[in-house]
Structure 1
């Protein structure tokens, strides 16, 4: 032990590395010799389970995407109009309908090569069939079994049909189908049916392995129903057929299952996973002979690798030990220079590991020391500049406020009452926002500020929008933070009503909930996309986790983040801004304050 302590770090690393390497190689050979076949099967099952799980999810996403396409066709206004009024369409108008449907169905099917065709069935037994590369054909059809099955399902239900085969000029194509009824919006009466044919060969694109790999060549991948009907076969030998051996293997009630199966006079390892979305089973088979051959190859490779590793162990260990200790020696040299008062030296960061982190921290420490020395020298100059800027900032707002009052007086003298009214409203609005942004005011004052803002907007937009308020008189004296409601009204006008030319409504509702004061600003405008709404909610939530010293402006003036920050800085994390809404259904922003009556004393306490 005493000898070990006196050794250099490089020598210790070299010896430890060689010992660990030889122990690991020896144990690996023993474990592989006695338990390789069992472990190989275990890992194979695990790999097949992973593949089946990934493929099952991929197929679910794929079919969910197809189902979304069916919903788009379902809700298309033009298709709704054609199906709803098809009984009144004359034979002369049939060609026009077919051309219109061709344009519509082409737009849905063309970007998706996996869609082999789309069929629309009317309630008066006319079938419009679109196939890729052709026009829309119209023909009379007889009621099909799947339509009867759909009649017994909910109006949002659909069916997935196993592959069918169609022969055209010697070309055989196997398709699976998604079918559903189409109901009139919003009356919900049945106006037709939809059938989307999907090329079963396209399911091969969803596989996560390469068929050119040795493992891929040995694996057989199937998508099978519980009855053994093969929806997809990666070798296309059994697609559209029923295999009794598969039905027997899938007879278990478990969602995931692994085992062995005898098929085509061979023994296979297999895993299956049942999809909760489609009800299909992903069945993956791997020949047992392939595993035996792989084990023999692995044993030979392991022996060769072990011998090579034993020869190279000493060389590799020496190089690693030298590489690890070299930066430490360089760091010691640099630290000796700092000890002598020289702060100009820096470490070269040559890697991203622990030594790289150590070098970067050392450099940052020297940079911080140098920066602190500079900041102490420059702090007095910066303080003087800040005082001059603060004095200058006080001049401009007062000048603009006085100018607006002069404009109001001149306009009244000239008889231009509308300009005078706008100048007065703008002056009051500007005066309200000039100072004491962090002081509470009464709800009445804040709503008067909103009224001044709306008076200006009325002159600009006319009757394009209306403001409604639901506020009881007893809440008018409630204490709120200054300049928090008007920015929400402004957001509704700018963002919510940017495309709304009439009948736009902004509703302000004030109520209490226990000890909370809730102020909601709602609009019937464009609303927000789900992704944008989640991003904004996350942004507000992230601020709540910061300390009060980390407050930053959001770059948007007095926006939602700014209001949320100001409320939480004054009242705490239990208060702030909540937002709700959806695209096309408007937006509701709610301010949450503690319910207190406003008094001048309360404002003075807040100032202190």
Structure 2
């Protein structure tokens, strides 16, 4: 045998809470997802815009410094006194002093008048060179000027300004590590012969350059630096990186050649966001920041959205439980009263006074129950009237026949001077008529019915002038049992008329009444002539409405059958059977009602 799966009943409250939770969670999830997506795009857009503005601002600041350096270089490059001083290779002592004084005054005054110019040098391969501040001529001629990298680059540009990487000023102070400067170099040409006659080195203040860049923040740890067209670092607060190419090849290629303003790459397990802005000298300002720093706001926003969604979902569950409780409480009350009505108690009423659909259903239920109760009482009254009419009709058919036979017997007893027996018969008839003609209603106890049968047998013994022995085996607890009138008497009469009388001998009738769990069984048997199978079928057909039992036997047994059907629960029955030793047995099976109660009087 296969095991059937157990179906769990889903409560209405659970359905409401589930539906409400799903609806709220779905709406919250969708709105949160849409809000998160929109806000993410907005935040990213704002971050991009802000980052681009920052790098543009940094680039404008640095470009301003570069332009200032270019302007300074152009002004000095075109200065007539500088041209004459550089062209003069072997002046006399008086002229030399005058040139030196003019050049020192020129470079120092120029540095003093320009806040971004740190130092200024005019260098020659032969003769005197000039410089501002703590210029050390000895550092110029420590090695060949032409061999210096920035000089070679300036020669390649043939008079155009050339910017160098951020570095320490090599020609001033003591030692190699002096002030940080951002140099712009160019070859000084003779305006007449266009020959290279010297070199102009304008050093912008490197500390101010770094300060201006570092004042602009990109995230918490983001920074700005400058690369040239080949991806080498030219300006960076971390001076150890200056002059070196960018370590990451993709980043280097993007910084040197790409036109894209944004770029992301990963290094050492950290993803970086980079933005680029070109400078006026062909370099590029690069801003870099870890991606997580610009997305922290999004992460916090996501956590806030989901935590608030969970909070709203929890509130939705509580609200759903409260709502379901308010909704299901009247439904439970209505269901409980329906179960009461299902048992047959039509006094059940609900007390839901709300004005909603449940209240309307409750009022309709009460109205329906009252109507059903009224209809049941009407049906019961009609059925009782019908039963009484049928019972009276049967009795009116049975009694005249029996009364005619009894009076006929008494007449013959009187004729033959059997006065004592005639008196006895009349006395028994009077008692039988008194007990059996409706003085006590249509229902009697089993004890009263058996007493009527005893009186009836007395009359029959006188009539047929033979004894009829009546053997009773009855559970005393059954004697108060209420049964319809003439439930047993017609069976006894049938046993005598059609069973014992044809044998022309005395007879025995046995009545056994016993009680089982849900029924009472009354078996009436005799030792008469018996009954044929054909006769049993005729009586069964009469019960089914396909035939009619002839004579008084059919009327009496039909009355017994109908009484059982009318007054006892479905399943109660009367069954005829043949006894093995001869005679007939009639078995009455009377089921007990679901709610024990006595039959109406």
Q: Name the TM tier (shorter chain).
A: 0.3 to 0.5
TM-score, structure 2 normalization: 0.40
Larger Rg: 2
TM-score, structure 1 normalization: 0.39
